[in-house]
Amino acid sequence: MGLEHREVTDSDTASSSDKRDLEHRRRALSMRRRDLPESPLDRFRAMWNLDYGRLWGIGVATNVMRWLETVALGVFVFGLTGSPFLVGLIGFLRMAPMLFLGVFIGALADRANRKLMLAFSNSSLCLIYIVLAFLTITELIELWHVAIGAFLAGTVWATDFPVRRAMVADVVPANRVASAFGIDMASSNFSRVIGPLAGGAFLQEIGMQAVYLLGAVLFLTASLLALTVRTAPRRNSGASIPGTDRNGVTNEASGSVLNDLRSGLAAVRGDVVLSVTLIVTVWMNLFAFPYQHMIPVIGSEKLGVSPILVGLLLSAEGLGATIGALSIAALARPRHFTRAYIYASLGFLAIIAAFSLAPWYWIAIPLLFIGGFGMSGFGAMQSIIVVSSTRPEMRGRVLGVLAVAIGSGPIGALQVGWLASYLGADRAILIIAIVGLALTVVTVLMFRRYLVSIPRYRRGASI
């Protein structure tokens, strides 16, 4: 009996050992398969997610309107006033909400129902644009009406980072976040191909009322899409953070919006990757992107072209940015993120400086097409780095801080408008581009390890 029992025990032990070996081999094989490089087409599977598709559609609708209005409003206000400064002022009002409200919207987005926030903001703007269209048709529209409309539209766009993009990260698998944002950025950039051309054509052939009516339709579409997005209840990782209890359930008594703002800022200060990314974001929005507000002025004054051809300038940049963003979605790897972000930013600033010196229209177009690649590298990497470096329950707050960094653009718009009033639009763009280049280089020299850093992925936030 003893011998028989021993033989059975040995057999069971051998069987158990074999099972462990088999399980070990299976895990090793699974890990090897996971480490194999994906084909570029595999990385576009995020589009198969219907909820992601709805959020993508909202981004397309609102971004087409954003860039359509950039050209239309610039030409319309410059024709109405003849003042580059007032063109820059309207640009300031369109971006001011991101500067002043972005971080508060981010804190609110971590507490409220993001889907309802997105639907409400877009439906409200639909009604406002109907009113502006009526004022334009009846010839009662004045500059202050346009200014109010621009500010309210900017308030809706201020929700994009802390609300819509946070929802994108919620509805796609963690290993598809980079691809999802790359695709989203590509469509955003492609809207810059369609929007400026449509804006120039509508303004030239129909009038500003067509721009506002189309905006009403697009914002209504975005609102309806937002209501159909299915989102799972958000839970944190179990950490004790302001506004939640230890089980991750919202607890209004345990925190406040002010505490949420502090925790978002603390998360940025405590991470070099986040800090440098946001510093460069400020430089780009102060000294790079404001040049877009002067394109209608340069097109009309220096290059002497029609509104449609002014729109084509921004469309050329958008086409380059679309191709660049699709390339990022297919090929980007974590070890490339920070370097791609910095090199793309420097390249974009250099192209802006070259554009300001272009003497002819047909030289300006290829320059802006090339510049689009730099712009897409900056924009796509910015979102991917920030989302990948932030815990899911903190994304709204940190993306709200990012929105504030982007919101520095209004100051840049006023700055370039003021310089253009005294020096001309082309010289103003050249000056801000050179300053932006210098500040970005200094930032990189101060934090050299940023170029070799890989975003610090946390649970639920990986590529």
* Nearest residue to 177 (alpha-carbon basis) of 30, 329, 33, 2: 329
Give the model confidence (pLDDT) of 142-168 as tens digits: 888 888 888 888 887 777 777 887 787
Whole-structure pTM value: 0.62
Predicted confidence band of residue 7 (pLDDT cuts 50, 70, 90): very low
With a cut of 60, say whether residue 91 has pLDDT above it: yes
CA distance 272 to 380: 19
CA distance 203 to 213: 12
* Nearest residue to 241 (alpha-carbon basis) of 450, 417, 354, 393: 393
Pairwise pLDDT comparison (382 vs 15), residue with the higher score: 382
Helix-helix angle 50-81:291-301, to 10 degrees: 50
With a cut of 80, say whether residue 407 has pLDDT above it: no
- 320-341: average pLDDT: 76
* Nearest residue to 317 (alpha-carbon basis) of 183, 191, 440: 191
DSSP symbol at 458? B
Predicted confidence band of residue 16 (pLDDT cuts 50, 70, 90): low
* Tokens found for residue 309: 């051809």
Out of 108-117, 376-385, 436-445, 452-461, least confident range = 452-461
Pairwise pLDDT comparison (461 vs 163), residue with the higher score: 163
Q: What is the pLDDT of residue 416?
A: 85
With a cut of 70, say whether residue 33 has pLDDT above it: no
Give the model confidence (pLDDT) of 298-326 as tens digits: 887 788 777 778 778 877 887 888 787 77
DSSP symbol at 51? H
User: Torsion angle, CA of 203/63/284/426, rounded to 10 degrees?
Assistant: -10
Predicted confidence band of residue 104 (pLDDT cuts 50, 70, 90): confident
Q: What is the pLDDT of residue 29?
A: 45
Give the model confidence (pLDDT) of 116-136 as tens digits: 888 888 898 899 889 888 888
Q: Are 368 and 429 in contact (CB under 8 A)?
A: no
Give the model confidence (pLDDT) of 159-218 as tens digits: 777 788 778 777 776 666 667 776 777 777 777 777 666 766 766 677 777 888 888 888
Q: What is the pLDDT of residue 46?
A: 52
Pairwise pLDDT comparison (19 vs 92), residue with the higher score: 92
Q: What is the pLDDT of residue 331?
A: 67
* Burial 376-410, CB ≥16 within 10 A → b, else e: bbbbbbbbbbbbbbbbbbbbbbbbbbbbbbbbbbb
Over the chain, what is the mean pLDDT?
A: 74
With a cut of 90, say whether residue 350 has pLDDT above it: yes
